[in-house]
Amino acid sequence: MPFLAAVSAARTMAKKTPTQLARTLASVVDAPKLHAHYPVVPGSLTAHLQLRSGETFTGGSFGAASATVGETVFTTSLVGYPESMTDPSYRGQLLVFTQPLIGNYGVPRRTRDSYGLLKHFESERIQCSGVVVSDYATKYSHWNAVESLSEWCAREGVPAITGVDTRALVHILRGQGSTLGSLSAGAQPLDAASISWVDPNADNLVAQASTDDIRVFNPAGDVHVALIDCGVKYNIIRSLCDQGARVSLVPWNHDVMANLSAYDGIFISNGPGSPTHCTETISQLRRAFAVYQRPIFGICMGNQLMGLAAGLNAYKLRFGNRGHNQPAVDLTNGKCVITSQNHGYALDDSVMPEGWARYYVNANDGSNEGIRHLEKPFRSVQFHPEAKGGPLDTGYLFAEFVDSVRAAKQAGLAATLSEDCSASAQAATA
């Protein structure tokens, strides 16, 4: 299909309702529940992945000898398992890697950069509840590795299973959607009737992943950005600091309105779970939209929260978009970029609120990939321009944001309309 025709098709897909979108996705024919067993070396510990829908996978355990329940999701990323596993957006999830061989380059040392951030991880610990792979590499080789993936998982109390037919598992998940699963280590699977199937998305995972205190990074930066932490990846902080910004990391429910004029710009991070739990953040953004004149930008969860604040609704995708190869079309110029993504919810942009427009659209399924205000400097994207890991096609968005913040500051743009009106009144009476 010619590229312009593909863009047109993506735009058409983007206009469909969530129900219409669901009908276009893959499905599987009803079949007997799969029970797969992978032969384990005698004397080795076995592990069991049990889906709430009835399918079971038995293989080898290479993580903690424990049990957990989470939403079973898959990522198509080929590299970057340390970054993916420490991404707070995977909180509460059993992470299935479709890349067959995992663990071959071990786990890197905990080196920190000049901002005090871990260089090779996206947070301080493993965030996913469990790990599912086809083939775990028992021997690793990399100049920067200090331990195996097995040692890391065991040390942090995260169960992991190898020997799973991940192609069959992903086929199930694509057909019936992301499903609650139980991952346990032991000789026998857990009694299904005794498993407490707690959906992590029923909780406010953002509140769990967010910082409790305000933290400042790159204090000598020439512009001050408030970064609302919904479960931020370290490379988002780093990317803003690299552009010369002073970054104040604030809790997800921080009252930014109380000191709005102190910020030259506002940034909303990625995060786990459903955006509908973040009512305080949505309320803060809605109030900021009404009076704030300086740039606002959101990524992933930030895109969804900005959309909800603008008047859109969010819905749960059948199996989400997670990986490093998602194509997104910029609707302002028709260009397609390859992006890193990790989300299970999306905005319903079939009808846009007055003053707002779609910014990016997913070229695969037509789901929303960003929104923008038609007059004010407010924009957001569903994908991850900071990558880690993934393609670097959209890293320029950080430069554009900080440059716009800097330009607004240099132009003397007041933070709010009331300040602008007050300054005008003072000038008139002078």
Distance CA 299, CA 136 (A): 32
Is 259 within 8 Å of 292 (Cβ atoms)? no
What's the per-residue H, E or C state across 275-290? HHHCHHHHHHHHHHHH
Is 182 within 8 Å of 68 (Cβ atoms)? yes
**CA-based max dimension of the chain:** 88
Q: List Cα–Cα distances, 98 to 34, 131, 164, in angstroms.
A: 18, 11, 10
Single out the catalytic residue among 55, 122, 369, 386.
386
Q: Clarify whether 254 is annotated catalytic.
A: no
Single out the catalytic residue among 48, 343, 373, 384.
384
The secondary structure of residue 52, as a DSSP letter, is T
Distance CA 258, CA 59 (A): 53
Single out the catalytic residue among 128, 153, 278, 300.
300
In terms of Cα–Cα distance, which of 418, 397, 419, 173 is closest to 302? 397
Q: Clarify whether 277 is annotated catalytic.
A: no
Token couple for 244: 């010369």
Q: Strand locations in 234-333, DSSP E?
A: 245-250, 265-268, 296-299, 313-330
Question: Which residues are paired to 93 by β-bridges?
Answer: 71
Q: Clarify whether 369 is annotated catalytic.
A: no
Q: Which residues are part of the catalytic machinery?
A: 300, 384, 386
